[in-house]
């Protein structure tokens, strides 16, 4: 679960986040691309975040 709380805290701190990308997560938390992708995908699957792009 390392990373989930950090990402959620960042989203809450920026209540009007328009775009939260894999690159943003990598830069904010020094995650590698796979970890950032995994955290974001899981949070989308749980309904915590909403995916708005069409990229895979």
Ordered per-residue pLDDT tens for the chain, 56 residues: 557 787 778 777 877 656 788 998 898 888 999 999 998 899 889 888 888 877 76
CB-based contacts of 36, cutoff 8 Å, min separation 6: 22, 23, 25, 26, 29
pLDDT the model gives residue 55 = 72
pLDDT the model gives residue 56 = 60
Query: Is residue 40 within 8 Å of 25, Cβ to Cβ?
Result: yes
pLDDT the model gives residue 8 = 77
């Amino acid at each position: 679960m390392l990373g989930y709380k950090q990402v959620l805290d960042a989203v809450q701190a920026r209540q009007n986040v328009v775009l939260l990308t894999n690159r943003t997560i990598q830069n904010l938390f020094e995650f590698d691309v796979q970890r950032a992708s995994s955290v974001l995908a899981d949070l989308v699957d749980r309904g915590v975040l909403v995916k708005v792009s069409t990229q895979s």
